[in-house]
């Protein structure tokens, strides 16, 4: 490999899976994480770990120079949508302002490639699905706005300075490393599959179904769930593409291009465990769109990346295996 890469947020859920995918592909990895939501143990011994903040330009500059970093994969950030509504400045600080500092440090150090964790939340409520990247961005919360603003900074920087970038707009990320090396560990989960597997292990008494009157076939919300290891591998492919195409940048959806309803997800969990979890029909959660499904033709056209785990049952199995591991660890 031509150089080592810096992974910010590499101790977090998606970042730690990206670190595994990079190491598996033979890259040297330096992780920068402030451990506010990440875990030191989530970073393998074979990666270099630096505890610190993305917005600490002096630290970042030193790390970039000392290691001769040639690309940054930027996962660090805040991701809780309702919190972004009540504490918007936290999101503009941790997502937008911190990214601005990181991008500047990258430019000062002459780092030529940048990969950014973006989100389908940039689209807001889409006019049509599947959603293409050229459809309008109308985020309906500060989280989506804070990520979109970073995409705009990257676009403008790439136009003016010697840096190219990929922003990957994630749809619903779920599952865990198939080999059991990492998984979603953050307490206070809000995401459906994580909640459902917590209900399986008895960490929760039931799963609430938030709304049964959506404009979808069974009335519950439909989402495009992507296995976290497929998503991680998309970053490795994007990194190679940036190196091969130094004049080009891309913003690309990351999803499988098909949706499952809440009830279909819960049916899948029941099928995997052969045991029904308790469902409670509840009212809608504020700000949830009916249907979010990616048009993934751009990423399929651009990268050699192909999904290897496009199977909701497999996603649930891996999420559950990790949840059981966490439950054992909590007991011992
Ligand atoms: N959802 C649900 N119960 C839960 C969590 C989520 O019914 O405990 C629904 C939610 O309304 C949405 C879908 O599951 O339709 C996915 O929500 P999640 O929070 O996992 O991801 P989001 O799409 O909001 O980013």
| Ligand 1 atom nearest to 282, measured from its CA | 7
Asked whether residue 104 is assigned to any structural domain, the reply reads: yes
Tell me: do 311 and 201 sit in the same domain: yes
Tell me: do 167 and 232 sit in the same domain: yes
- End position of a domain, from candidates 211, 236, 254: 254
**Percentage of residues in the chain having pLDDT higher than 90:** 95
Both tokens assigned to 82:
């309702």
* Ligand 1 proximity of 123 Cβ (cutoff 6 Å): no
The band of 293, judged by pLDDT with boundaries at 50, 70 and 90, is very high
The band of 65, judged by pLDDT with boundaries at 50, 70 and 90, is very high
Q: 315: domain CATH number?
A: 3.90.25.10
* Ligand 1 proximity of 219 Cβ (cutoff 6 Å): no
Asked whether residue 107 is assigned to any structural domain, the reply reads: yes
Residues 211/213/218/221 CA torsion (nearest 10 deg): -50
DSSP-derived secondary structure letter, 115: E
Q: Say what the pLDDT of residue 167 is.
A: 99
* Residue with CA at minimum distance from ligand 1 atom 16: 192
**Percentage of residues in the chain having pLDDT higher than 70:** 100
Tell me: do 287 and 217 sit in the same domain: yes
Q: Please provide the average confidence, as pLDDT, over all residues in the chain.
A: 97
Tell me: do 286 and 215 sit in the same domain: yes
Q: 81: domain CATH number?
A: 3.40.50.720
The band of 332, judged by pLDDT with boundaries at 50, 70 and 90, is confident
Asked whether residue 103 is assigned to any structural domain, the reply reads: yes
Residue 314 CB neighbours (<10 A): 16
Q: How far apart are CA 39 and CA 287, in angstroms?
A: 30
Residue 287 has pLDDT above 90, yes or no: no
Q: What is the pLDDT of residues 71-126, one digit of tens each?
A: 999 999 999 998 999 999 999 999 999 999 999 999 999 999 999 999 999 999 99
Tell me: do 217 and 231 sit in the same domain: no
Asked whether residue 248 is assigned to any structural domain, the reply reads: yes
Both tokens assigned to 114:
């940048």
Tell me: do 158 and 290 sit in the same domain: no
Tell me: do 105 and 197 sit in the same domain: no
Q: Say what the pLDDT of residue 288 is.
A: 87
Rounded mean pLDDT, 10-35: 98
The partner residues of 226 in beta bridges, in order of sequence, read 173
Tell me: do 74 and 129 sit in the same domain: yes
Q: How far apart are CA 138 and CA 155, in angstroms?
A: 17
Q: Which domain holds residue 128?
A: 5-174+225-254
Residues 252/143/32/256 CA torsion (nearest 10 deg): -30
Tell me: do 300 and 209 sit in the same domain: yes
Active site residue 143: yes
Asked whether residue 290 is assigned to any structural domain, the reply reads: yes
Per-residue DSSP letters for 27-94?
--EEEEE--SSS-GGGS-TTSEEEE--TT-HHHHHHHHHHHT--EEEE--S---HHHHHH-HHHHIII
Asked whether residue 325 is assigned to any structural domain, the reply reads: yes
Residue 188 has pLDDT above 90, yes or no: no
Tell me: do 243 and 267 sit in the same domain: no
Q: Say what the pLDDT of residue 329 is.
A: 87
Catalytic residue of the set 13, 123, 143, 260: 143
Q: What is the pLDDT of residues 261-280, one digit of tens each?
A: 999 999 999 999 999 999 99
Q: Say what the pLDDT of residue 208 is.
A: 98
Residue 330 CB neighbours (<10 A): 9
Tell me: do 147 and 294 sit in the same domain: no
Q: Say how many Å lie between the CA of residue 193 and the centre of ligand 1.
A: 8
Q: Say what the pLDDT of residue 330 is.
A: 85
ipTM above 0.90? yes
* Ligand 1 proximity of 190 Cβ (cutoff 6 Å): yes
Q: What is the CA radius of gyration of the chain?
A: 19
Residues 121/303/38/150 CA torsion (nearest 10 deg): -50
Residues 32/1/231/310 CA torsion (nearest 10 deg): -150
Q: What is the pLDDT of residues 136-179, one digit of tens each?
A: 999 999 999 999 999 999 999 999 999 999 999 999 999 999 99
* Ligand 1 proximity of 259 Cβ (cutoff 6 Å): no
Whether 116 contacts 74, CB under 8 Å:
yes
Tell me: do 229 and 219 sit in the same domain: no
Asked whether residue 186 is assigned to any structural domain, the reply reads: no
pTM, rounded to two decimals: 0.98
Count of domains observed in the chain: 2
Asked whether residue 152 is assigned to any structural domain, the reply reads: yes
Whether 257 contacts 295, CB under 8 Å:
yes
Both tokens assigned to 37:
């939501």
């Amino acid at each position: 490999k031509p150089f080592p890469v810096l992974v910010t947020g590499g101790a977090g859920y998606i970042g730690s899976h990206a670190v595994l995918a990079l190491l598996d592909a033979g890259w040297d990895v330096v992780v920068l994480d402030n451990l506010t939501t990440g875990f030191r143990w989530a970073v393998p011994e074979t990666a270099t770990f630096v505890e610190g903040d993305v917005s600490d330009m002096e630290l970042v500059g030193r790390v970039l120079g000392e290691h001769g970093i040639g690309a940054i994969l930027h996962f660090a950030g805040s991701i809780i949508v309702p919190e972004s509504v009540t504490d918007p400045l936290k999101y503009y600080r941790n997502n937008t302002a911190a990214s601005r500092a990181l991008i500047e440090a990258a430019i000062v150090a002459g780092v030529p490639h940048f990969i950014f964790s973006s989100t389908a939340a940039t689209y807001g409520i889409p006019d049509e699905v599947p959603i293409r990247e050229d459809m309008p961005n109308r985020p309906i919360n500060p989280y989506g706005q804070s990520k979109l603003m970073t995409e705009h900074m990257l676009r403008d920087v790439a136009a003016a300075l010697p840096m190219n970038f990929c922003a990957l707009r994630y749809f619903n990320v779920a599952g865990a490393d198939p080999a059991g090396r990492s998984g979603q560990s953050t307490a206070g989960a809000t995401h459906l599959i994580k909640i459902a597997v917590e209900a399986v292990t008895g960490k929760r008494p039931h799963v609430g179904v938030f709304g049964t009157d959506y404009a979808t076939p069974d009335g519950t919300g439909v989402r495009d769930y992507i296995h976290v290891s497929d998503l991680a591998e998309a970053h490795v492919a994007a990194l190679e593409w940036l190196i091969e195409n130094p004049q080009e940048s891309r913003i690309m959806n990351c999803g499988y291009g098909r949706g499952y309803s809440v009830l279909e997800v819960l049916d899948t969990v029941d099928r995997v465990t052969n045991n029904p979890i308790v469902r409670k029909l509840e009212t809608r959660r504020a700000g949830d769109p009916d249907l979010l499904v990616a048009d993934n033709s751009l990423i399929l056209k651009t990268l050699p990346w192909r999904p290897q785990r496009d199977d909701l049952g497999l996603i649930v199995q891996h999420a559950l295996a990790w949840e059981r591991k966490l439950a054992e660890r909590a007991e011992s």
